[in-house]
Amino acid sequence: MTIRSTRQMLLLSAIAFTLPVAAHAATAIEAAETTVDEIVVLGTGQTRQVQEVSQEDLGRLAPGSSPLKAVEKLPGVNFQSADPFGAYEWSTRISIRGFNQNQLGFTLDGIPLGDMSYGNHNGLHISRALIAENVGVTRVSQGAGALGTASTGNLGGTLEFTSRAVSDEFGGTIAATYGAEETKRGYVRLDSGSLTASGLKAAISYAYQDADKYKGGGSQRQHQANGKLVQPLGSDGALTAFLNFSDRRENDYQDMSAEMITRLGSDWDNFEPDWATAVLVADIGNNRGDTGAAISNPSAGTVYPGKITSVDDAYYAGAGLRRDWLGGATLEGKLSSAITGKVTGYYHNNKGMGLWYTPYTPTPGGAPISIRTTEYNMERIGSIASLAIDLGSHKVSTGLWYENNDFHQARRFYGLANSPTVSQTSLDYPTNPFFTQWEFDYTTKTLQAHLSDSWDVTDALTVSAGFKGMSVRNEATPVIKGGFAEGKIKAEDWFLPQAGFLYRVGDKTELFGNYTENMRAFASAASTGPFSVKQAGFDAGRADLKPEQSQTFEMGLRTRSNGFQGSIAGYYVNFKNRQLSLQQGAPIQGLPSILQNVGKVRSVGVELTGLYNVTDAVSLFASYAYNDSQYKNDVIDRTGILIAATNGKTVVDSPKQLIKTEIAYDDKSLFGRIGANYTSKRYYNYLNDRSVSGRVIVDASIGYRLAGFELQASVTNLFDKDYVSTVGSGGFGNSGDGQTLLTAAPRQWFVTLKKDF
């Protein structure tokens, strides 16, 4: 069946399902929430592959671990990070069924988090949006999120994070953690309980974490505060307001190549705190002509010290600085016996920068090194409105989401004194730049709407159908152009259908199937997307550039019986209009780079999951995923020149096999878990001639509760495996090696004492 005929059929189906109630559903979004009483829930009642992980499961990990660490055991989820907590943003990467992080959707309590990229152009990472201990449920839709998900990038899966509810009773938690690399973490939460006769209640919490890097110099630290206020409105409604703050400052690890790992070892890192060696290497690079800068110290010679062969083997330091405020309010309740309404308003302010000490731009009159930054300032304001209408056998939802994102981005250079010690620390914001290379204001306006119906045809059969539409308008306005593009571009499609079925076989087994179409809007930034090329390249490619789109087909079965729950799902995905920035023609021609649609990707796979509660205290979990994601076209530029013969090659950072197992024990006093994670080979270039090998990583924890106290010991990378975690940290090349790998943390241990009151 062609895409066109499929869309026509689904449009007719959607109209047929929704006409009886369309007049009542002009401004809504679905508002169904699932209550989770188990550690992992395999999406009972859903027409698509959906799985949920509870806060209790996250609590089994090392305190401060990202919720992404908890969901990595779910089938189809490939999560990598160079730190033991899964929170170091430069290194964190999550992909699902071959779709990378920029092609997934992320929300917190329904509020969009953007693509959670390090570049930070349209949201923020969950590790900054909410304290880890305050994450309640994490829902993963491997193939397609709900139509009402506030995301313009979820070509593949969707992750929906839900914060912990405010308790009706007065109480709280105090916890302290100490561990490897002088890790210190403190967490405190206070729930007020009911403050008034009407049930007003609040919760406030604070977390602080500081840890040295496990290799090299520097540290990674964060302050976070979360506040939440709930006013019940009758028996079915509530007004909820929240305000979250994060100040994160973390030193980077050095990106490496396979050749560097062999030559320098896995423990190699940047020079900090050895300022003298950083200056010496910069001087040598200048003397050799490697940096393009003038000779700065002839006496330094032209021979790099030790095993160093390049100024890029190590820099003095790199760091990521981020400060975020995220706040909002939600009003929800019943408008009638059949209609439930919900409206949310939110605001996000971000200030931050990524910086590194570059030997390629000397400080005028100072050190042969300067600090190069990419600076971010963001203000997002948006609203989400929804209606859910219960018409008996028909459950209709409709909704609207609008967001205005004003994003300011700049590239600046800050001076360093020619002194025996470094004059500017890496975890403080520098001031008084000596040069601004480029600076832009970007505006992104998003409007998304959806309409859907879930129809209980019989007691056994439920059929759902609907569609969403979106219009995203991007504009770039230069302050200092610096060679990048300005202008406007739009991604718009008002019919992106979704249809599915659920068939119940008795009380324990369900068959499900789903078809979904999705589109990814363009990014507004100088570091990614259509504005990241020269003006001539933008003008030449804009007319033909189309947003990335996907079609997902999936079918599966889930069952529950006598303490066991399991599922199996198969899927087929077509992805088209893959975007890549290409140099046109031979470099000597001087033609501009153009962001170009370079073809299709096809993914097929199967996912199996099983959870068995052997006793009330013992549970076994296992998942297996096989995924084959391939590029289906060669990369050819607009002049007809072959750039890369990628047809039939495996998608980068897309392991074909993932196996996760876990044994957990909890008798309410003694508790513990041990989990093993196998990830198969991953390629880190498009022609698949370079890869990192598969590996098995084991984490474990054990603890004891007594008199309201809890003592827990956690170990990550239990067998001290030496391996590459993140691939693509420096991007992906067509062939050969590249400085784009991050090695993983060695074995790390942590001890936590917690008291609930």
pLDDT in tens, 453-465: 999 999 999 999 9
Beta-carbon contacts of 430 under 8 Å, excluding residues fewer than 6 positions away, are 355, 371, 373, 414, 424
Cross-strand bridge partners of residue 744:
none
101 three-state secondary structure: helix
Residue 14 has pLDDT above 80, yes or no: no
In the numeric block, the tokens 């002194």 are attached to 419
How far apart, in Å, are the Cα atoms of 570 and each of 143, 513, 574? 10, 9, 14
Q: How far is it, in rounded angstroms, from Cα 443 to Cα 449?
A: 20
pTM metric for this prediction: 0.92
Report the pLDDT value the prediction gives residue 357, as an integer from 0 to 100: 97
Cis status, amide bond into 273, omega within 30 of 0: yes
Report the pLDDT value the prediction gives residue 162, as an integer from 0 to 100: 97
Mean pLDDT of the chain: 92
User: What one-character-per-residue DSSP string does 387-440 give?
Assistant: EEEE-SSEEEEEEEEEEEEEEEEEEEEE---SSSS-SS-TTS---S-SEEEEEE
Please give the angle made by the CA atoms of 387, 389 and 394, to the nearest 5 degrees: 140
Digit-coded pLDDT (tens) for 729-752:
988 989 999 999 999 999 999 999
Q: Are 74 and 94 in contact (CB under 8 A)?
A: no
How far apart, in Å, are the Cα atoms of 113 and each of 68, 88, 246, 324, 728? 14, 17, 14, 12, 22
Q: How far is it, in rounded angstroms, from Cα 411 to Cα 438?
A: 5
User: What one-character-per-residue DSSP string does 301-330 give?
Assistant: -S--STT--STTS--S-EEEEEEEEEEEEE
Digit-coded pLDDT (tens) for 465-514:
999 999 999 999 999 999 899 999 999 999 999 999 999 999 999 999 99
Q: What is the mean pLDDT of residues 598-604?
A: 94
Digit-coded pLDDT (tens) for 580-599:
876 555 444 455 567 888 89
Q: Where are the alpha helices (DSSP H) in 524-566?
A: 535-541
Output the furthest CA–CA distance in the chain (Å, rounded): 86
Q: How far is it, in rounded angstroms, from Cα 659 to Cα 625?
A: 7
Q: How far is it, in rounded angstroms, from Cα 751 to Cα 518?
A: 44
The residue among 374, 567, 407, 428 whose CA lies nearest residue 476 is: 407
Q: What is the mean pLDDT of residues 370-394?
A: 97
Residue 110 has pLDDT above 80, yes or no: yes
Report the pLDDT value the prediction gives residue 591, as an integer from 0 to 100: 53
Q: What is the mean pLDDT of residues 686-701?
A: 97
DSSP 8-state secondary structure symbol assigned to residue 685? B
Q: How far is it, in rounded angstroms, from Cα 734 to Cα 726?
A: 18
Q: How far is it, in rounded angstroms, from Cα 464 to Cα 570?
A: 19
Query: What tokens were used for 35?
Result: 């209550």
Q: How far is it, in rounded angstroms, from Cα 71 to Cα 96?
A: 11
The residue among 426, 461, 469 whose CA lies nearest residue 272 is: 426
Report the range of poorest mean pLDDT among 121-135, 569-583, 649-663: 569-583
Confidence grade of residue 269 (pLDDT, cut at 50, 70, 90)? very high
Q: Where are the beta strands (DSSP E) in 131-267?
A: 135-141, 158-163, 171-179, 183-191, 201-212, 219-233, 237-251
Q: What is the mean pLDDT of residues 712-716?
A: 97
Residue 578 has pLDDT above 60, yes or no: yes
Residue 16 has pLDDT above 90, yes or no: no
Q: How far is it, in rounded angstroms, from Cα 348 to Cα 38?
A: 33
DSSP H or E stretch at residue 568? strand 564-576
Query: What tokens were used for 73?
Result: 């055991």
Query: What tokens were used for 128?
Result: 């900054």
Residue 32 has pLDDT above 70, yes or no: no
The residue among 580, 684, 574, 547 whose CA lies nearest residue 629 is: 574
Query: What tokens were used for 169?
Result: 């009773």
How far apart, in Å, are the Cα atoms of 300 and each of 282, 283, 297, 316? 9, 6, 6, 17
Digit-coded pLDDT (tens) for 414-453:
999 999 999 999 999 999 999 999 999 999 999 999 999 9
Over its C-alpha atoms, the chain yields an Rg (Å, rounded) of: 26
Beta-carbon contacts of 530 under 8 Å, excluding residues fewer than 6 positions away, are 474, 485, 489, 522, 523, 538, 541, 542, 545, 595
Digit-coded pLDDT (tens) for 281-318:
999 999 999 999 999 999 999 999 999 999 999 999 99
The answer to whether the Cα torsion of 726, 730, 734, 738 is positive or negative is negative
Report the pLDDT value the prediction gives residue 581, as an integer from 0 to 100: 77
Residue 30 has pLDDT above 80, yes or no: no
Residue 624 has pLDDT above 50, yes or no: yes
How far apart, in Å, are the Cα atoms of 91 and each of 79, 324, 599, 608? 10, 20, 28, 28
Query: What tokens were used for 683?
Result: 């390629």
Report the pLDDT value the prediction gives residue 23, as an integer from 0 to 100: 33
Burial per residue of 691-708, b for 16 or more beta-carbon CB atoms within 10 angstroms, e otherwise: bbebbebbbbbebebeee
Half-sphere exposure of 356 (CA within 13 A, CB side): 15
Residue 349 has pLDDT above 80, yes or no: yes
Q: How far is it, in rounded angstroms, from Cα 595 to Cα 579?
A: 6
Residue 28 has pLDDT above 60, yes or no: no
